[in-house]
Structures are given as C-alpha cells and as structure tokens.
Amino acid sequence: MKARWILIPVLGVSATVAARMRRLRGVAPELSNPAAALLPSMGPIPLRVARLLPAPPVALGAEGGVDVRREDVPGGQDVYVYTPAVPNGAALLWIHGGGTIIGSPEIDHRRCIRIARDTGAVVVSARYRLAPEHPFPAGHDDCYAALRWLHRVAPERGIDPARIGVGGASAGGGLTAGVVQRAVDEALPVAFQLLVYPMLDDRTTTRPADHRGALVWTRRSNAFAWDAYLGAGHAEREVPAYAAPARRADLSGLPPAWIGVGELDLFHDEDVDYARRLEAARVPVELLVEPGMYHAADLAAARAASMRAFLRSAISSTESHLAARD
C-alpha cells in the first residue's frame, strides 16, 4: 500500500512534466529548450519568487569596448549609460521587459553593450517602477522622464537630438510604443522605435486561445500582468492614453519602426496587426516574424543561428535609422 501512495504523486508529476514538454511542439529544433517548457505561468506566488532572485551584477567602467556608468534622472529613476569607444552622435533609450511586474535594467546589460558597440550609439537603459505596487502611469512616466533627460543632456554629450531612438523588449517594447506616442504628441523628437516582441494590447487577454503563448509568457501570465498594470476589467473599458499602445486609433506621424516577434509568441497577432496599421498610416515599418520562435527565445537560445540573425536584424535597423543624414 505504501508503494502505491508513493507511485501516485510520481505519476502525477511525470504527467505534468510530459504535458509541459508537449508545449515544445512546433518550436524550431535549434530553439528547443526544456527550461522554457517548465517555466510556471505568472501569478502571486511566482511573482514573489521571481522578485527574490537577485539582479545580475553590473560592473561599472569599461567592458567590451563600452564605458558603463550609472546616473540618476531628475523626476525619474536611475539609468545605466553605455558609451561606445567611438560614439557616432546617436542614442537609444532602452526599456527592459518583465510584464511591467518584474525585471530591471541589469538583466539587459549584455544586450545594451552589444547594441552600443555594434551601432556606435550611446545606449541609456532605464529603470522604472513596477506594478502592481506602482500601476500605470508610474512606469510609463519613469521611462518618459528618462527620454526627456536624454534630450536635455544630449548637446553636452555630443548627441544629436534628431538621432535619438527608443527601444525595448516585451513589456519594454510596449512601454517603448507608449513613450513614443506621447513624445510625438508632445513634439519631443524620436527618430526610431525598436519593438522587440512588444506587449501592446491588453485586449489579447480576452481573445480566444490558439496554439500561441504556450511557452514562457502564457495567457495566464499576460492576464495577471495586465490586471496588475491597469486594474481588473481593463479590457472592457477605456484605458488611459499610452497605457495599451495598440488602442491608439491614429498611428500617423509616428517614427519608423522595427518589429520582431516569434510565430509562436502570444504577442504575434497584436504585433503583426500593429505593424500593418503603422504601414497603413504610412509609417515606415520593418516586420520580422521568426518561424518556430516563442516569446524571448532570443534569450533562452541565444546561440541559435536564427536568434543571432534576429538580433542582427534589430541592430542593423537601429543603426540605419539612427545614422547621420546629409
């Protein structure tokens, strides 16, 4: 009898693991990562656990041909400033991901070094307050304060205000889109927006489920994060401007965009739709939909050839749109 009671939980765990591993179906072979299938959906307990994990250390000074410094933004939070050995007068404000509920600029340290080194642009990586303790507009306001600060210090640092872009991944991509919309409305120049699998539309939480969103960032995670950011019932009511960028009716006048998303990403449909609407509004847009890619696969399988190409495309577009014009 004792053996039977031991066997039942073992079988239960095995079945759960097997079910989660089935999530890898359809994933490009080089992106297959069992850890991605085993990640739990976000909720109160996973959120507390995730926040217990220490942020990776960031060593200030020279690293990889880039000078790294930390500075405080008046009216906002602190930022990391990545200055390449030979800056070319451009700059990119970078906004980290994490569903607006977790994360910090430290997690994107390597990415920011790479962008600064490969594009020649100064990269400013912003910290922002997180939901649910700080719902919208707290995080948005922190990121916008960082953009205003970047414009303010640009002349003294050899940065051309006409060559400043904004970029981010996941929730950072959504914050990027909202910050850019506000900048256009307030006549603050932005030359380019880099949207890496951006979290744009809170209404995705109410749409019928399909095969997307099985890995890393699930429908349950998405619903939990949007509720934390905007409050329960957000999808059935109007939300403030810039909170859910896909809700903006008029996209004309926005700066050129690069949008990259995986075929299996929960954000696939909202990102493709946003790209098409930008195009319809005569905004130059480059859309990259990567086959067999799930959310944040460029981090989970960073060495895969397709993910290296995905990053190169984003960096190349950034470099091109922030280049000096004759």
Q: Which residues are catalytic?
A: 170, 265, 295
The three-state secondary structure class of 165 is: strand
Are the CB atoms for 31 and 300 separated by under 8 Å?
Answer: yes
Nearest-angstrom CA–CA distance, 226 and 74: 28
Are the CB atoms for 242 and 137 separated by under 8 Å?
Answer: yes
Supply angle C-alpha 325, 185, 104, rounded to 5.
80
Nearest-angstrom CA–CA distance, 176 and 24: 30
- As to burial, measured by CB atoms within 10 angstroms (0-12 exposed, 13-18 middle, 19+ buried), residue 11 is exposed
Bridge pairing between strands 285-290 and 257-262: parallel
Query: At which residue do the structure tokens 């939909």 appear?
Result: 289
Nearest-angstrom CA–CA distance, 80 and 311: 21
Nearest-angstrom CA–CA distance, 106 and 318: 21
Supply angle C-alpha 298, 180, 285, rounded to 5.
60
Which amino acid is residue 122, in one-letter code? V
Nearest-angstrom CA–CA distance, 261 and 87: 29
